[in-house]
A and B are shown apart, each in its own frame.
Chain A
Amino acid sequence: MADQSPAMNVVKSFILKEFLPGEDPANLMPTTPLMSTGILDSLATLKLISFLEQEFDIQIEAHEADEEHLETLEAICKLVDSKR
């Protein structure tokens, strides 16, 4: 597995804590599908976006709050990186 950047670790911890209580962290991988599996439902997605904007001091557009941009840890980090 590729090294996880500090940003990815931060996002991963947030998702585990907020949406996957009791889950073994090893199960959440950079390419684990999150939205299409119901792990992130629409409410969770809003919370995630709020967190990303605050944590990384970025703005996420409405059209970026979708499966294409938020489906995996990898995709999320790619979105975050593109804003910094």
Chain B
Amino acid sequence: MNEKNLILDVKNLVVRYETEDGIVNAVNGLDLQIEKGKAIGLVGETGAGKTTTALSLLRLIPKPPGVEKCDFMELDELNMLDLSVKELEKVRGKDISMIFQDPMTALNPVFTVGDQIAESIHLHEDVSYIEAQKLAVGMLELVGIPGERANEYPHQFSGGMKQRVVIAIALACHPKLLIADEPTTALDVTIQAQVLELMKNLRKKYKTSLIMITHDLGIVAEICDEVAVMYSGNIVEKGTLEDVFNRTKHPYTEGLFNSLPNINDRKSMLTPIKGIMPDPTNLPEGCPFNSRCPYAGEDCAHPQVNRQISDTHYVRCSAYDRPGFHINRKER
């Protein structure tokens, strides 16, 4: 698989949380491969396991109560599963970094924004703290914040600007892979556009690979090259933008597209997906989408496997074993 020049290669990731109320199966045998320089959107509802997957990639799952199992996890050919704590600390922030959802709480209120950026630089690059602070000012300017503000505290910034600071921290050491967990969900729509624009430009500049976690298909279309749709702890469909948007295969993905309001057809009713995601402490055997799927059949009660549609596109749905099966959504 190395001819593909992967930045991330994960095979069979399983994460569960053992709590007093039961075992929460958050991620169930996930495979993920990302090519260098590409941006992949990780789409799914709340509870699908997107954030857990991201935290697991950074090895930040709290243990207890978390329990992780993985066959294979390599970041640019570095085996993540074998690293010691110290080695992991070196990798975090330098080779792989993460932006979290809520900018309001992501920054430490008692340190200046300049210091928080400089800390990352000072940790990973071989420069003095003064140098790091200068570089931090540079990063601030890069994300569109005047450098003089480096000595100000987080509470003196608006939500959108705080998120820019968070981006500055994450990109300060030019990581190879950036994971962005719903970075614009907590922001106004206009600010959202600005932040996305900023992320696009920085990606281009530093050639950073990106995992964009979101529930918003619009953002995926804006900024990503590939899409992976997650449901109940696993990827049910993955392909290029073209593949997934125009040649949708999985019934769940179809349901997601159908539930988007159609601006051209104001009179039509919204068609949400019936039912709710299965209880992660009590997952059914077989396909987790079974109870909500309009195409459910007998084969759905059996454990599902990935089915390759094309070089770039696969779907996890046993219905495609049935002769002549196709979903209603038309190909474009």
- Please say whether chains A and B are actual partners in one complex: no
Question: Which chain A residues have a beta carbon within 8 Å of chain B's beta carbons?
Answer: none
Question: Which chain B residues have a beta carbon within 8 Å of chain A's beta carbons?
Answer: none
